[in-house]
Amino acid sequence: MTKRFYSLMIVLLPVVSLAGIPAGYYDSAQGLSGESLQWALHNIIDNHTSISYNAIKTAFYTTDDRYGNKVWDMYSDVPGGTPPYLYTLGDDFSGSASGEGEGYNREHSWPKSWFNDNAPMNTDLFHIVPSDIYVNNRRSNYPYAEVGSTTWVSQNGSRLGSSVTPGYSGTAFEPIDGYKGDFARTYFYMATRYKGEDNGWAGSAMADGADLEDWAVDMLIEWHENDPVSTKETERNDAVYLIQDNRNPFIDHPEYVQYIYDPISGIEDETQLTAVCVQSSPNPFSSFTSFSYTVPMGTNGSLRLYDTSGRMICSLLEDVSCTSEANQVSWNGTDENGNQLSPGIYFAVLTTDTETSSLRMVRTGL
């Protein structure tokens, strides 16, 4: 797998409400990373309550309702704008269409042909969403990817054409930016829920069975980070849980993506090659960590810590004149009011008048 280094995204990942997560639901995953974490999550969400194919249509009334009995279709919606068309739940459900706006049906975002239309994945609501019939047909079973040259564009801007994503050059379907994270977290769910249960799957250019290909992981991580978890997703996660009795861990805990797919480089120093840099040790840490930072002598520097919503939780240095190039400061995992912070991902940002360096940190269980 290619080694990935990520730039600071302190405003891109929101704090996800934990209100819908049952107490202790993820306890067996605490402190794990890599494949060990993925297997633990698999065991947590495995053996969900499977519904019939016909029941999917009814499920949409609670999982994908918007605007009062209207369908939330990610292939036609325009976040923050006016969709080109809206469907009424139930009334506009149909089987065929000659163009957009003629009805909706079920879209298996992880196409059925990839898993031979087998149960229980063929009715798993976490990857089945309502979709305009015509767009669904145009998407077909092509992989998701970034598209360069287009052969068709939907009314909301979803694109079909030749992939320009490194690692895959075939035909691909690209959803709009506002829903790329939704589909990325869906794919991380599928790869985890059906890990080890994919014997005989036909697979695809995106996945060998349920295991995502390296190029797909790289792209989906980028989509996951650039389009953070939304209220729509958390509410849908809760609604599906009431039906299937399992959850999408990557909606509840977006940091699990990094813990599984990039547990080392995802938390390594992300410093650019400049005169300003910051590192911490230990990282991950439990109770405290020490920052080593380098700035030119005589430079004023600030070292601030942020959570994943972009909220500054405390400032360890504020416009301090550095009398030496190499400096150290410790942090005990508390906010500016002395409150202990929960386990999760945090960011250290070192700034001077001309440069910025950032570091992703992971706090484990206390």
Digitized pLDDT (tens) for each residue of the chain, 366 residues in all: 443 433 333 223 333 333 489 999 999 988 788 888 999 999 999 999 999 999 999 999 999 998 789 999 999 999 989 999 999 999 999 888 999 999 999 999 999 999 999 999 999 999 999 999 999 999 999 999 999 999 999 999 999 999 999 999 999 999 999 999 999 999 999 999 999 999 999 999 999 999 999 999 999 999 999 999 999 999 999 999 999 999 999 999 998 998 899 865 443 333 333 345 677 788 888 888 888 877 777 778 888 888 876 788 999 988 888 766 667 889 999 999 999 998 888 888 888 877 777 777 888 865
Same domain, 123 and 202: yes
Question: Which residue type, as a one-letter code, is found at position 233?
Answer: E
CB 93 within 8 A of CB 107: no
Same domain, 243 and 278: no
259 part of a folded domain: yes
Same domain, 238 and 91: yes
88 part of a folded domain: yes
Find the farthest-apart pair of alpha carbons in the chain and give their distance in angstroms, rounded. 72
Same domain, 210 and 282: no
Phi first, then psi, for residue 51 (nearest 5°) are -110, 170
Same domain, 319 and 222: no
Q: Which domain holds residue 352?
A: 269-363
Q: List the alpha helices (DSSP H) in 201-272.
A: 214-226, 231-244, 249-252, 256-261
333 part of a folded domain: yes
Same domain, 117 and 180: yes
Same domain, 126 and 221: yes
CB 214 within 8 A of CB 1: yes
22 part of a folded domain: no
Q: How many domains does the chain have?
A: 2
Quick one: tokens of 165?
């994503």
Element (H, E) at 65: strand 65-66
CB 126 within 8 A of CB 109: no
CB 129 within 8 A of CB 76: no
Same domain, 145 and 97: yes
Q: Which one of 238, 265, 292 terminates a domain?
A: 265
Quick one: tokens of 357?
């360096």
Same domain, 93 and 40: yes
Cα dist. 191→34, 53, 211, 267 in Å?
13, 21, 6, 22
Same domain, 73 and 182: yes
Same domain, 356 and 251: no
What CATH number does the domain containing 338 carry?
2.60.40.4070
